[in-house]
Amino acid sequence: MRSTPSSLLMGKLWHQCPAAATGTANYRGAVPTSICWFRRDLRLADHPALVAAVEAARADGSDVVPLYVIDPALWRTAGANRLAYLAASLRALDRSVGGRLVVRHGDAVDVVPAVAREVGAREVHVSASHEPYGRRRDRATESALAADGASLRSIGSPYAVSPGRVRKADGEPYQVFTPFRGAWLDHGWRDPAPHPRSVPWATLPSDGVPDAPETGADLPEAGEAAARARWREFLDDGLAGYASGRDLPAHDDTSRLSVHLRWGEIHPRTLLADLAEVGRSAGRGSGAPSSDDVATFRSQLAWRDFHADVLHHHPSATARSLRAVLPDDAWATGTDEEERLAVWAAGRTGYPLVDAGMRQLVATGWMHNRVRMVVASFLVKDLHVRWQRGAEHFMAHLVDGDIAQNQLNWQWVAGTGRDAAPYFRVFNPVTQGLRFDPDGEYVRRWVPELRHLDGTAAHEPWKVGPSLFASDDSYPERVVDHAVERRATLDDLHRGRG
Ligand SMILES: Cc1cc2nc3c(=O)[nH]c(=O)nc-3n(C[C@H](O)[C@H](O)[C@H](O)COP(=O)(O)OP(=O)(O)OC[C@H]3O[C@@H](n4cnc5c(N)ncnc54)[C@H](O)[C@@H]3O)c2cc1C
């Protein structure tokens, strides 16, 4: 028996409502024929699986069970920020289904068939999972349901185009982003699904929506309404100028939608439909988004689908480099590795842009994309720590942490991915700072020790003189010399090619 009592698994963090604690089913409505099992699709709009569940229930004159399973295997690895966000998002979903969200704790492979038996459901509707863990779980759940004569019906996915669909003429997957994006645009996507009206939600006992675990991070508002509000705000005020402003970390010029997309509070297809609308009048009128703004934003959504596609074809990419580019002895090991990782994680490398990014991550659970690239490059190519260690730290903090996007972006920076930055491209943390944070505003925001330094001086504090590094709580001196480490990395690369 795989399931473990939820109270043991969840410790003190989770509430149980009395009905669930007794374990008695008190379902009083008509027999539901369908369950909508929510996973990373915590919304009601543009939700094909929910539409299918509602249609199935209407056909039988019955109800829909809105189910969420708190899976201990995922819970253990999620990190406090994502758990806190998930709890808030589930509460928002619960409100939007009139307080009827059925939350159950345990292994989904046991819990989902148990709920189906409890209510006599013949169909469980889901948006497909594409990451390795979700695929395994769904296969096992499908078999368990089938043993009871029920079925798992997958409709839609968290992507504009489901991973595995975009292929070359010979049927092979794309290895390189630009042709993938061309084929992705040609393939196209469905229109948003219709919003189901007056859904007949079933009433069932629930283990209750989880309490938020303690996190010191300043997290964004969760839920479908917050996602839609953020998108509207971005369309009105952020999209114009996105193409030129998206690389400047001090400005709030990106959409901040990654967290909402991560949890499926809004679907990329909804964004693409609105973008198409905006694109039709692009460039008309002052302050309107240009066609370049629209195309650049759409391209970022293509990157999201590309990484999911690569993971679909290479499930081992969650842990293993798709291409090994350096010899094994190129990497820091033991205490050396741990010490390097620790200064990087604490934002005390002595390189202001790197430190600002790492501190933003801890304070907010998010980091600007440009800075994610710089800090990742610094860990791998200046500190010689394997990308997997950095990816693990990101997943512990990122509220948008997503196995496909995180691991494949790390592999892109490390030069080990399918279509990756060339390994010899080593981001220079100082010139990146001077170029993308020219006034030093971003660095001063996140590194208080440097707030007294004006303009570009914030990127090169060592030029101010030794007084800046006088005491233990002052800003640290540089842990390594970038020029020396860059050279070492390039030498390792040549040895690796041997
Ligand atoms: C080392 C590293 C780790 C990353 N880890 C994650 C992660 O765990 N989860 C995650 O969602 N993104 C990750 N990214 C990608 C990117 O940094 C974030 O998606 C982006 O910063 C989110 O901010 P935004 O929503 O304001 O982006 P915007 O610039 O507004 O972009 C719009 C959307 O496009 C998508 N997008 C943008 N850039 C990328 C990209 N490089 N790869 C894939 N999709 C992209 C995101 O869904 C984003 O919400 C990572 C990037 C790097 C370099």
DSSP letter string, 9-43: HHTTS----HHHHHT-----SSPP-EEEEESS---
Residue 18 lies in a domain: yes
Residues within 6 Å of ligand 1 by CB = 246, 254-258, 261-262, 300-301, 303-304, 307, 369, 372-373, 376, 394, 398, 400-402, 405-406, 409-410, 413
Do residues 102 and 94 lie in contact, with contact meaning Cβ atoms separated by under 8 Å? no
Please tell me the chain's helix, strand, coil percentages from 3-state DSSP, rounded to the nearest 5.
Answer: 50, 5, 45
Indicate whether 263 and 336 sit together in one domain: no
Rounded to whole angstroms, the Cα distance separating 344 from 361 reads 12
Residue 411 lies in a domain: yes
Q: Which of 418, 427, 431, 415 is nearest to 330 (CA)?
A: 415
pLDDT at 33: 76
Domain end position, chosen among 156, 182, 212: 156
Per-residue pLDDT averaged across 169-189, rounded?
96
pLDDT at 241: 95
Indicate whether 336 and 478 sit together in one domain: yes
Q: Report the separation in Å between the CA atom of 306 and the middle of ligand 1, taken as the mean of its atom positions.
A: 12
Indicate whether 383 and 308 sit together in one domain: no
- Give residue 19's pLDDT band: very low, low, confident or very high (50, 70, 90): very low
Lowest mean pLDDT among 10-24, 76-90, 388-402, 409-423: 10-24
Do residues 68 and 35 lie in contact, with contact meaning Cβ atoms separated by under 8 Å? no
Per-residue pLDDT averaged across 156-164, rounded?
96
Residue 183 lies in a domain: no
pLDDT at 455: 92
* Mean pLDDT rounded to a whole number for the chain: 90
Segments of 71-144 assigned E as strands: 102-105, 123-126
Cα–Cα separations (whole angstroms), residue 293 to 240, 301, 408, 450? 6, 13, 25, 34
pLDDT at 214: 84
Do residues 468 and 475 lie in contact, with contact meaning Cβ atoms separated by under 8 Å? yes
pLDDT at 14: 31
Do residues 20 and 204 lie in contact, with contact meaning Cβ atoms separated by under 8 Å? no
Domains: count for the chain: 3
Domain end position, chosen among 156, 187, 207: 156
Indicate whether 11 and 88 sit together in one domain: yes
Length of the chain: 498
Q: Report the separation in Å between the CA atom of 308 and the middle of ligand 1, taken as the mean of its atom positions.
A: 12
Indicate whether 254 and 293 sit together in one domain: yes
pLDDT at 494: 83
pLDDT at 205: 95
- The three-state DSSP-derived secondary structure of 211-256 is CCCCCCCCCCCCCHHHHHHHHHHHHHHHCCCHHHHCCCCCCCCCCC
Tens-place pLDDT, residues 450-463: 999 999 999 999 99
Other Cβ atoms closer than 10 A to 274: 15
Residue 269 backbone dihedrals phi, psi, to 5 degrees:
-65, -35
Residue 93: both structure tokens together: 């979903």
Per-residue pLDDT averaged across 246-257, rounded?
95
Residue 166 lies in a domain: no
| DSSP state letter for 379 | I
The backbone region for 215, taken as left when phi is positive above 0, alpha when psi lies in -120 to 50, beta otherwise, is: beta
Find where tokens 């043991």 sit: 8
Q: Report the separation in Å between the CA atom of 406 and the middle of ligand 1, taken as the mean of its atom positions.
A: 8
- The per-residue b/e assignment along 176-194, b for 16 or more CB within 10 angstroms, e otherwise, is ebeebbebbeeeebeebbe
pLDDT at 284: 76
pLDDT at 421: 66
Tens-place pLDDT, residues 68-94: 999 988 887 789 999 999 999 999 999
Residue nearest to atom 4 of ligand 1 (CA): 406
ipTM attached to this prediction: 0.99
Indicate whether 48 and 106 sit together in one domain: yes
Indicate whether 138 and 253 sit together in one domain: no
pLDDT at 472: 66
pLDDT at 470: 64
Indicate whether 453 and 350 sit together in one domain: yes
Percent of the chain with pLDDT over 70: 91
CATH code, domain with 273: 1.25.40.80
Rounded to whole angstroms, the Cα distance separating 25 from 23 reads 7
In terms of average pLDDT, the best of 1-15, 453-467, 473-487 is 473-487
Query: Does the pLDDT value for residue 18 go beyond 80?
Result: no
Indicate whether 304 and 358 sit together in one domain: no
Rounded to whole angstroms, the Cα distance separating 227 from 243 reads 21
pLDDT at 129: 95
Query: Does the pLDDT value for residue 268 go beyond 50?
Result: yes
Query: Does the pLDDT value for residue 10 go beyond 70?
Result: no
Lowest mean pLDDT among 104-118, 411-425, 475-489: 411-425
pLDDT at 498: 61
Residue 83 lies in a domain: yes
Residue nearest to atom 12 of ligand 1 (CA): 405
Per-residue pLDDT averaged across 212-228, rounded?
92
Query: Does the pLDDT value for residue 5 go beyond 70?
Result: no
Query: Does the pLDDT value for residue 468 go beyond 90?
Result: no
Other Cβ atoms closer than 10 A to 204: 25
Residue 167 lies in a domain: no
CATH code, domain with 422: 1.10.579.10
Range of the domain at 27: 6-156
Tens-place pLDDT, residues 318-370: 999 998 888 899 999 999 999 999 999 999 999 999 999 999 999 999 999 99
Q: Report the separation in Å between the CA atom of 253 and the middle of ligand 1, taken as the mean of its atom positions.
A: 13
**Which alpha helices (H) appear in 378-472, and where do they start and end?**
387-397, 403-414, 429-436, 441-446
Percent of the chain with pLDDT over 90: 80
Residue 277: both structure tokens together: 């609308």
Do residues 429 and 378 lie in contact, with contact meaning Cβ atoms separated by under 8 Å? yes
CA-262 nearest atom, ligand 1: 11
Indicate whether 133 and 235 sit together in one domain: no
Query: Does the pLDDT value for residue 386 go beyond 90?
Result: yes
Rounded to whole angstroms, the Cα distance separating 354 from 415 reads 19
The single-letter code of the amino acid at 307 is: H
Rounded to whole angstroms, the Cα distance separating 107 from 137 reads 9
CA angle 286, 289, 293 (to 5 degrees): 145
Residue 205 lies in a domain: no
The single-letter code of the amino acid at 89 is: S
Q: Which residues contact 494 (CB under 8 A, 6 or more apart)?
A: none
Do residues 407 and 311 lie in contact, with contact meaning Cβ atoms separated by under 8 Å? yes
Tens-place pLDDT, residues 25-67: 344 445 667 999 999 999 999 999 999 999 999 988 899 999 9
Rounded to whole angstroms, the Cα distance separating 351 from 127 reads 43
pLDDT at 423: 73
Indicate whether 301 and 350 sit together in one domain: no
Per-residue pLDDT averaged across 115-120, rounded?
94
Domain end position, chosen among 248, 283, 313: 313
Per-residue pLDDT averaged across 379-399, rounded?
97
Tens-place pLDDT, residues 190-201: 999 998 888 999
Q: Report the separation in Å between the CA atom of 229 and the middle of ligand 1, taken as the mean of its atom positions.
A: 19
Q: Which residues contact 330 (CB under 8 A, 6 or more apart)?
A: 384, 489, 492, 495, 496
Find where tokens 């660095």 sit: 443
Query: Does the pLDDT value for residue 227 go beyond 90?
Result: yes
Q: Report the separation in Å between the CA atom of 148 and the middle of ligand 1, taken as the mean of its atom positions.
A: 41
Write the DSSP string, 327-357.
Answer: -GGGS--HHHHHHHHHHHHTT-SS-HHHHHH
CATH code, domain with 28: 3.40.50.620
Per-residue pLDDT averaged across 464-484, rounded?
84
Per-residue pLDDT averaged across 208-216, rounded?
82
Sign of CA dihedral 286, 291, 292, 293: positive
pLDDT at 8: 28
pLDDT at 23: 32
Indicate whether 236 and 117 sit together in one domain: no
pLDDT at 420: 65
Do residues 404 and 391 lie in contact, with contact meaning Cβ atoms separated by under 8 Å? no
pLDDT at 466: 73
Residue 186 lies in a domain: no
